[in-house]
Structure 1
Amino acid sequence: MRMLNLGVVAHVDAGKTSLTERLLFDSGAIERLGSVDDGDTTTDGMDLERRRGITIRSAVAAFTLADRRVHLIDTPGHTDFVAEVERALGVLDGAILVLSAVEGVQAHTRVLMRTLKSAGVPTILFVNKIDRVGARHRDLLQDIRRKLTPGAIALNRPVDLGTKSADVVDLDPDLELAEVLAEHSDAALESYVDGIDPALLRRELQAQARRGLVHPVLFGSAVTGVGIAALRKAIVDLLPSVDPDTSGELDGVVFAVEHDKGRSAVARLFTGSLATRDRVTFARRDRSGVLVTESGVATGVRDVDGEQARIPAGGIARITGLPGLRVGDRLGVHAADGRHRFRLPTMETVVTAESPARLFDGLSRLADQDPLIDVRRGPRHGSLVVSLYGEVQREVIAARLAEEFDVTAEFSPPRVACVERVAGTGHGLISMGETVHWATIGLRVEPGEAAAFRLEAERGSLPAAFLTAIEDTVNATLQEGLHGWPIQDCVVTLTHTGYCSPVSVAADFRDLTPLVLTKALRQAGTVVCEPLEEIELEVPEESLTMVLSTLTKHDGLPRTPLLGNGTAVIEAVLPTARLREFQRLLPGLTGGEGVLTAHFGGYKALWNQ
């Protein structure tokens, strides 16, 4: 049976989770249709998700559709959980982008569509809520073509729109369909000129939709079930699927960690296969760019339904027995390529609680499910620092700490997460006899393209345990910097070593290394740098002047705008610290029509000492 890994994405409240529930129910995968309002949907498994009516973590469910085994991945809709969406996109064969027929094309909908296009994910657009008062059809379809994709192809149309009896009617291939398909096909162009060939147009629609060149649009209602049969047919006919294959070497990526019934890592396999008792190599790069590689034996491998099996390429594996396996890790032959595939958070907050131990345990568990929150030691005893995307994410972390770990946490106001970079070259050396430590250590620091630890002293001049103690402590010390920020792009070279057997112990080297490294860093000096955003703005032409003025007032550096069809496209660089405020003002400046997409744009020096 062929496999299809299908994502469901949407702006919050468009009806994404309701659609997921309807697909599972109509396929027989669940016996009862859950409701977001009642808090009993299948994929929103957390109590917090049910109460808030939003999806916080990506969830996976499975159902059978014709000759397809579909793995349905329900993703968060709120912008604060964009990392969940982005990490899910890397494992998808196709996607459904859900829109509301009432609210229409919203700003975050446009961001999601751009993301799907850039990731090359073939996508069907489902316009939900046609039974709601205020639902739209023709003007909404025009908005979809203008704001989301000119390759939108309507496959049905609603009747009795905005009423409880709303229904849909299938559309036959026509000149409009031929015109859109002709953009990418000479055969469709001939059909457009010489006369409609319905069979040819259906074949072209299937081929182009599976390649992501055009985007089918279906109207319906997840609550009433109208239009769902057509959507189910489109999933089979118009989205690509893969044959299960166990040949080749293992290659996969972890996109979720679950703790529902013990800890399991959820991974999509691209090649090879995986079964219980297989040895697995996996790797990631930490925030400083250092490659971390591990391996171990999987004590359990199960499919989406919880059955123990050998999972082939194209499948989703739930892996147990590998506690070091984290979200974003690359499995198998391409482990050395394991880099961050999604935007890192650029805000952080200090967290405290009456019980620092319980706080650490709770945040560590949450970081296991989302390593990008990056729990680390705070500036005060017992405090911790976590990274954030936004205020809603902070509220969710606080609520989960209280409900799941009985920890009442206090959060400082979020601040932008800066870094430090080494300004020059510095050297530190402390010899045995100068301190109470039975060790000699010399370290040189200098700028580099990535963090690295190198040896200038002979490897055999120091026992392996002492060398490991130095390297581990160097990495930990660099995370604190001279001014409290992590130091990036720094090469640290061990130049001198010495020990006295049998008196010297690893603790001597762990305790002395921070003193030597700090000495070298003070000599080299460090520069504190703030993060920048590369942004792209799409705004109505009449609001261009106000947007540019506001952008420059927020320290943005815009490039020359591109004008056309009543729309202005602006590329600019903006400090991350000013991004949230500018985003808050943008709807008022553009009448709600402005769309902003942002990605990390490097760092800019603030000051140095």
Structure 2
Amino acid sequence: MGKHLVVGLMAHVDAGKTTLAEGMLYQAGTIRQLGRVDKQSTFLDPNVIEKQRGITIFDHQAELTVGDTQITLLDTPGHVDFTPAVERVLNVIDLAVLVVSAVEGIQSHTRTLWALLQAKKIPTMIFVNKLDQIGAHPDQVVTEFQTEFGSQCLPFNQPSDLKAWSADTPELIAMQGDEQLLDQYLANGQVDQKAIRKLVASQKVVPIYFGAALNQVGISELLAGIIKWGPSLASTPNFGARIFKISHEPNGTRLTWFRVIGGDLKVKTTLNNEKIDQIRHYNGQQYEVKRVAKRGEIVTIAGPQKTFPGQVIGTESQVDQVSLRPVLNYAVTTNHDHDFQILQNACEQLADEEPLLHLNVNQALNQITLQLMGTVQVEVIKALMKNRFGLTVTLKPAGIVYRETINKVVEGVGHFEPLRHYAEVHLLLEPGQPGSGLQIVSQCREEVLPHQWQSQILTALQAKEHRGVLIGAPLTDVKITLVGGKGNLKHTSGGDFREATWRAVRQGLMMLKQVGQAQILEPWYQFSLVIPVSQVGRALNDIQQMGGSLKLPVNLPSGEVPVRLTGEAPVIKLQDYPIIVRQYTHGQGQLTVKFGGFRPAEDQITLVEKEAYDPVSDLPNTPDSVFCTHGAGYPVKWNQVPQTMHCDYYYPQVMANFGPN
């Protein structure tokens, strides 16, 4: 067998992506009969919810062989609500095929996908589909791509007769390279295939292919292009893997899906201290049991229970982050007399598969909330609850998602010393860059804390989602540095440092709250607004009233010509605006949004009063410490810990502004 390529298919919903996948599998001989989305008979999209809705909701794997090339095809969801799953798939593919309808052209989600592909530097090809439909305009679509995405988007076959690329394409390809490549072309009128492959691998050339997947037109040319220009995975000697999905079988078996990026993995060995019971290689719904997973393969393993989507194995403390995140909270309730624990267990399984759901369970009030991207994901969650768990649930909007951060440096202290236990941890909390999340490092010398104890502290910092002390929202954009602490060779155990670490984070946050340096962050949307030119003034006034900003084109056309505007605004102000746009444009306007990061909340005092969150009463996240005297442990309030702790501050100059120790 020659090279092995992992190819991801992605598109705006209804561009014909799954139909293209079906055609590729048929032409390669993987399937003997073509299925259709409208007849619910495709090889991919096997889930009953996908069949009912006619869209891809989960990513699916298929295998095809063309000549001596093995291609693993990953068909990804097409709706914007499931973009985080698509983004994780980008971390395991060699090449992306972006499918665009020749009728609709570039759509909102096309732009989102293109931005992700560019950010992650994924080699990309474009398949312009549906040439056989009324209203198809492939030339205009090419112009759109070159205008919006750049001159590197070049036709590699003709939509009329599907011959080789157009006569001027070699020259245009040469112009995307360096002077040496252009000189070679001018000398002999050709471009070396190896040079083209490098240009594709570096995104300097994006080949465009044309066809009609439903009628099998253009698919063979696309397959030939994938084989000819697709890059191979770089060789890595040590074992490594990127996890992109977690799923559960009806019998409860938990499956971890990943790509092996280095070395081999054998069954019955361990992965991060968890035994691998089985290795599977899937093709659609069928799978082959394997003894060894080799470099470059997409495999599924059964056994490990602590893996998670985005995790990178073999690279210390690395996680593949996603840029698009949910910003809407939904309360989950059931209309039946189900035990609350049954509902919680179901939600926990879904949150295991998609950590961005950010499951929050309040046992005292029997309340469960999830964070979702939009209304389509809401409907899918309800269908999953019914089909998988037999639960009829209601999801009601429960406000937007907030985050908390800090505006000043502080040294937090946690002490845990009940009888026969001992640990003290000192952490430096510093404001991070917007969008940086939580950064966790150590600057502690091993003569102060041995390596084993430091590892326990760093593991504890990563083991939970830390919450702020203003409204209990997740903490973000903070750098946490281990600077010191103390243990006892006789009495200290791993759990002691976990308790002291979590308390140190909260104690530091409480110190900052006391001096007004804790901050609530609210989510913002980046948006694209398509409206008639006559309504631009109305839109500009609306966005300014929201506290947002709107970017206007340099030259506005006249009349009722539609114009696309871009901007950003707070989610809480923009979330109902699509309805208003449709009203004042009489159905002609369209607003599309994506997550644009978190910024300081406009009215923090009102938010704090509304939530009425008491950080001291949140016992699982207590800021208080435990000390010991005369053989008995006793609690110490967070503001008394500095006077009681056993180690002095490691950064006294930082703490000088917080009053006397």
TM value normalised by structure 1: 0.78
String of CA shifts for 1:417-454, please: whole Å, max 9, x gaps.
11334678799999999xxx999999999853458799
Tell whether 2:243 aligns with 1:254: yes
1:600 matched residue in structure 2: 597
Q: Is the 8 A contact 1:536 1:572 kept in 2?
A: yes
Q: CA deviation at 1:493?
A: 10
Tell whether 2:587 aligns with 1:574: no
Tell whether 2:388 aligns with 1:393: no
Q: CA deviation at 1:90?
A: 1.3
The counterpart of 1:555, out of the listed 547, 554, 563, is 547
The counterpart of 2:312, out of the listed 326, 330, 340, is 330
1:274 matched residue in structure 2: 265
Report 1:224-373 matches (<5 A). Answer: 224-242=215-233, 248-260=237-249, 262-281=253-272, 295-305=273-283, 306-332=288-314, 334-338=315-319, 340-353=321-334, 354-373=338-357
String of CA shifts for 1:38-57, please: whole Å, max 9, x gaps.
11222212100110011111
Q: CA deviation at 1:308?
A: 0.3
Q: Is the 8 A contact 1:179 1:192 kept in 2?
A: no
Instruction: Name the CA distance, whole Å, in 1 between partners of 2:463 and 2:280.
Output: 36
Q: CA deviation at 1:9?
A: 0.5
Q: Relative to structure 1, is the Cα distance of residues 403 and 304 closer, same or farther in structure 2, using a 3 angstrom cutoff?
A: closer
Q: Is the 8 A contact 1:534 1:599 kept in 2?
A: yes
Q: Is the 8 A contact 1:21 1:42 kept in 2?
A: yes
Q: Is the 8 A contact 2:279 2:291 kept in 1?
A: yes
Q: Is the 8 A contact 1:445 1:524 kept in 2?
A: no
Q: CA deviation at 1:345?
A: 2.0
Q: CA deviation at 1:370?
A: 1.2
Instruction: Name the CA distance, whole Å, in 2 between partners of 1:4 and 1:474.
Output: 34
Q: Is the 8 A contact 1:445 1:490 kept in 2?
A: no
Instruction: Name the CA distance, whole Å, in 2 between partners of 1:233 and 1:485.
Output: 51
SS at structure 1 position matched to 2:547: coil
Q: Relative to structure 1, is the Cα distance of residues 454 and 358 closer, same or farther in structure 2, using a 3 angstrom cutoff?
A: farther
Q: Relative to structure 1, is the Cα distance of residues 188 and 396 closer, same or farther in structure 2, using a 3 angstrom cutoff?
A: same
Instruction: Name the CA distance, whole Å, in 2 between partners of 1:427 and 1:138.
Output: 61
Tell whether 2:374 aligns with 1:408: no
Q: Is the 8 A contact 1:429 1:440 kept in 2?
A: no
String of CA shifts for 1:275-325, please: whole Å, max 9, x gaps.
2123223xxxxxxxxxxxxx3222222334523042222221212211111
The amino acid that maps onto 1:607 is Q
Report 1:10-21 matches (<5 A). Answer: 10-21=11-22
The counterpart of 2:473, out of the listed 485, 500, 504, is 485
User: For the aligned residues, what is the CA RMSD?
Assistant: 4.7
2:434 matched residue in structure 1: none
Q: Relative to structure 1, is the Cα distance of residues 317 and 335 closer, same or farther in structure 2, using a 3 angstrom cutoff?
A: farther
Q: CA deviation at 1:203?
A: 5.5
The amino acid that maps onto 2:311 is D
Tell whether 2:174 aligns with 1:181: yes
Instruction: Name the CA distance, whole Å, in 1 between partners of 2:416 and 2:593.
Output: 55
Q: CA deviation at 1:546?
A: 5.5
Q: Relative to structure 1, is the Cα distance of residues 337 and 323 closer, same or farther in structure 2, using a 3 angstrom cutoff?
A: same
Q: CA deviation at 1:382?
A: 2.1
The amino acid that maps onto 2:604 is W
Q: CA deviation at 1:514?
A: 11
Which segment drifts farther, 306-315 or 522-531? 522-531
The amino acid that maps onto 1:101 is A
String of CA shifts for 1:312-352, please: whole Å, max 9, x gaps.
222212122111111111111x1322252443322221212
Q: Is the 8 A contact 1:422 1:490 kept in 2?
A: no
Task: Return 5+ residue gaps in structure 1 as ranges.
Answer: 160-167, 282-294
Q: Relative to structure 1, is the Cα distance of residues 376 and 202 closer, same or farther in structure 2, using a 3 angstrom cutoff?
A: same
Q: CA deviation at 1:36?
A: 0.9
The counterpart of 1:384, out of the listed 332, 356, 368, is 368
The amino acid that maps onto 2:328 is M
String of CA shifts for 1:579-599, please: whole Å, max 9, x gaps.
444566779889769876654
Report 1:95-174 matches (<5 A). Answer: 95-159=96-160, 168-174=161-167
- Aligned length in residues: 572
Instruction: Name the CA distance, whole Å, in 1 between partners of 2:261 and 2:374.
Output: 33
Report 1:34-113 matches (<5 A). Answer: 34-113=35-114
Q: Is the 8 A contact 1:6 1:94 kept in 2?
A: yes
Q: Relative to structure 1, is the Cα distance of residues 391 and 593 closer, same or farther in structure 2, using a 3 angstrom cutoff?
A: closer
2:621 matched residue in structure 1: none
Q: Is the 8 A contact 2:293 2:299 kept in 1?
A: yes
The amino acid that maps onto 2:351 is A
TM value normalised by structure 2: 0.73
Q: Is the 8 A contact 2:241 2:262 kept in 1?
A: yes
Instruction: Name the CA distance, whole Å, in 1 between partners of 2:67 and 2:265.
Output: 26
String of CA shifts for 1:213-236, please: whole Å, max 9, x gaps.
112222111111111111111111
Instruction: Name the CA distance, whole Å, in 2 between partners of 1:237 and 1:514.
Output: 53
Q: CA deviation at 1:111?
A: 2.1
Q: Is the 8 A contact 1:478 1:487 kept in 2?
A: yes
Identical residues among aligned pairs (%): 23
Q: Is the 8 A contact 1:422 1:446 kept in 2?
A: no
String of CA shifts for 1:482-521, please: whole Å, max 9, x gaps.
53433454979999999xx99xx99999999999998986
